[in-house]
Amino acid sequence: MKLNGSQIIVKCLIEQGVDVIFGYPGGAVLNIYDELYKNQDKIRHILTSHEQGASHAADGYARSTGKVGVVLATSGPGATNLVTGIATAYMDSVPMVAITGNVGVSSLGKDSFQEVDITGITMPITKHNYIVKDINKLAETFREAFAIARSGRPGPVLIDIPKNITDPKCTCEYEPVEIDTKVIAKKLPKVSEDKIKEVAELINNAKRPFIFAGGGIIRANASKELNELATMMDIPTCTSLMGLGAFDQTNKLSTGLVGMHGTVASNKCIVECDLLLALGVRFSDRVLSNRKHFAENAKIVQVDIDLAEIDKNIPTDYSLVMDAKEFLDRLLPYLRPKKNPIWLALVDSWKNIFTENQMSSTLKPRFFMEEIQRATNGDCYICTEVGQHQLWAAQYFKYTKPNRLMSSGGLGTMGYGMGASIGTQIAHPEAMVFNIAGDGSFRMNLNELLTISKYNLPVCVVVANNQVLGMVRQWQTAFYEKRYSQTILDTVLDYEALAKAMGVAYYECFTRDDYSKAIEETVKLRRPTLINAHVEIDEKVLPMVAPGHQIDDIMLK
């Protein structure tokens, strides 16, 4: 059958199982938006306040579901406003398809109104990108883009479409295709059974084994197998920020976060273990700190689906380029269940160090997260902006399931959480979603409160308000002799008036009782909410490892 370009785009989205798209219209995509209007019973469109918010919403949708998130923007500034969101998804391996409009093919390269080379701009931050200049290649491009976004190590793909390709008069033959929207396994060289057995013997014979699990476990849907491995072999387990939820943190074997703001136990284990199983991690600088002294007493086994990550940041003794779930499925039959009482007793002694951090009768960030956990029984989704509050959310909430924390790890995008909370709540309409923000990050995309209000989403934004850029101030205190250059925020913003203007419920909290009441009412009433929770100006994220120091050189005050 003959269809125009816009019809083909919508047909392809439906083929791929897309039921929601985030975006903001403009001239170059009007034909696409007209077709979306005709198919609004099949694809829901969420109009955000800004294209960046739409890209983060698509990201949050993808992280919380494992599906491909889709965002749509017009040409020029509409397309460039997606760049931060695309880069965020790229750094954290999030499957996303970004669709942008552009000027007509005949106008390309002529500095036309709202023309920009978005494929050139995004080449370093996408798995692949396209500009479709021939309508006959449109369907094929969409199908390939979705396959690339979800296969192997997931990531964002961009499709740029000149306006004339979507013109109602521009048609071509279209044949529907039955699409399997499950994650497509990347074809990799088969890892030999002998190598799997060799790793299994390392684990069987290790006296102080330790697991370091990352976002790759979550992307591979391998959390069940990871928990089985750790429990069977009595192996303490830590996670990266991206890996939180991959391992049940209520399990006695959990040591929590690792790295610059990791727990004492996690960081000590890295130093003292004799075998480190690094599963789905890329050994970022925020974990390694001093590369020369990272796990220097251990044999390191790295398993990752991306060959480029092997030995990139740290040399390993054994490396396996494969899907984490496949690795664990093949490994488990070769293991001999055992207990490690001496090693675990030592690990438990480290867990008892610094347990009283932020225990106080005053309102502390630890209480923010523990109270959310109590009020929801841990059954909620946490999104974060970037800064101190992000680490408090990572440290003080017990993540028991994967895909429950949405946070910008690799890029560290302030303003991410507001959009992500929208996408997460749209994906899980029955759930409660909390966006944990700092007053600095909150300013970046507070306009998305309008989106939360417009769609009446039960998203609760908790602002840890210390009237400063908290993480930057913490570094200025520790390393810049308290020269607080441009980190003190003004106090002009009237949060209550803002909440009223945006149409969301508002609570101001100075005490634990204030905060408890606000959280209880928010959970009970399920409405868009802004909580302004006051924090002491010099509240810190601890523990902390100074940049370049050994991972067990831990600052506790």
pLDDT digits (tens, 9 = 90+) for 19-32: 999 999 999 999 99
Percent of the chain with pLDDT over 70: 99
Q: Which among 38, 42, 113, 296 is annotated as catalytic?
A: 113
The residue count of the chain comes to 557
Q: What is the pLDDT of residue 188?
A: 83
Beta bridge partners of 433: 381, 459
Q: Is residue 186 pLDDT above 70, yes or no?
A: no
Question: What is the β-pairing status of strands 433-438 and 459-465?
Answer: parallel
Q: Is residue 18 pLDDT above 90, yes or no?
A: yes
For residues 319 and 311, give the distance between their C-alpha atoms in angstroms, rounded to a whole number.
8
Q: Is there a catalytic annotation at residue 354?
A: no
**Residue 438's domain spans which residues?**
365-546
Answer whether residue 555 is part of any domain.
no
Same domain, 395 and 538: yes
**Which residues neighbour 317 within 8 Å (Cβ) at sequence distance 6 or greater?**
299, 300, 301
> What's the pLDDT band for 189 if we cut at 50, 70, 90?
confident
Q: What is the pLDDT of residue 73?
A: 98
Q: What is the pLDDT of residue 541?
A: 97
The total number of structural domains in the chain stands at 3
Same domain, 397 and 542: yes
For residues 16 and 19, give the distance between their C-alpha atoms in angstroms, rounded to a whole number.
9
Among 297, 320, 351, residue at a domain's last position: 351
Among 173, 207, 226, residue at a domain's last position: 173
Answer whether residue 178 is part of any domain.
no
Q: Do 282 and 217 form a contact (C-beta atoms < 8 A)?
A: no
Q: Is there a catalytic annotation at residue 51?
A: yes
Same domain, 158 and 199: no
Distances 231 to 104, 196, 200, 211 between C-alpha atoms, Å: 59, 19, 15, 11
Answer whether residue 521 is part of any domain.
yes
Q: Do 266 and 114 form a contact (C-beta atoms < 8 A)?
A: no
Q: Is there a catalytic annotation at residue 190?
A: no
DSSP 110-165: TT-TT---HHHHHGGGSSEEEE---GGGHHHHHHHHHHHHHSSS--EEEEEEEGGG
The CATH number covering residue 140 comes to: 3.40.50.970
The CATH number covering residue 255 comes to: 3.40.50.1220
Answer whether residue 356 is part of any domain.
no
Q: Is residue 183 pLDDT above 70, yes or no?
A: no
Q: Is residue 268 pLDDT above 90, yes or no?
A: yes
Query: What is the torsion angle, in degrees rounded to the nearest 10, for the CA atoms of residue 316, residue 321, residue 323 and residue 325?
Result: -40
Q: Which among 114, 373, 467, 550 is annotated as catalytic?
A: 114
Q: Which among 96, 242, 471, 544 is annotated as catalytic?
A: 471
Q: Is residue 347 pLDDT above 70, yes or no?
A: yes
Q: Is there a catalytic annotation at residue 114?
A: yes
| pTM for this model (two decimals) | 0.96
Closest CA to 114 of 139, 87, 81: 81
Q: What is the pLDDT of residue 184?
A: 62
For residues 422 and 409, give the distance between their C-alpha atoms in angstroms, rounded to a whole number.
18
DSSP state of 326: H
Q: What is the mean pLDDT of the segment spanning 398-412?
A: 97
pLDDT digits (tens, 9 = 90+) for 463-493: 999 999 999 999 999 999 999 999 999 778 9
Q: Which among 11, 163, 364, 540 is annotated as catalytic?
A: 163
DSSP 218-246: HHTT-HHHHHHHHHHHT--EEE-TTTTTS
Exposed (0-12), middle (13-18) or buried (19+): which is 162, by Cβ within 10 Å?
buried
Q: Is residue 436 pLDDT above 90, yes or no?
A: yes
Q: Is there a catalytic annotation at residue 163?
A: yes
What is the phi-psi region of residue 18: left when phi exceeds 0, alpha when psi lies from -120 to 50, beta otherwise?
beta
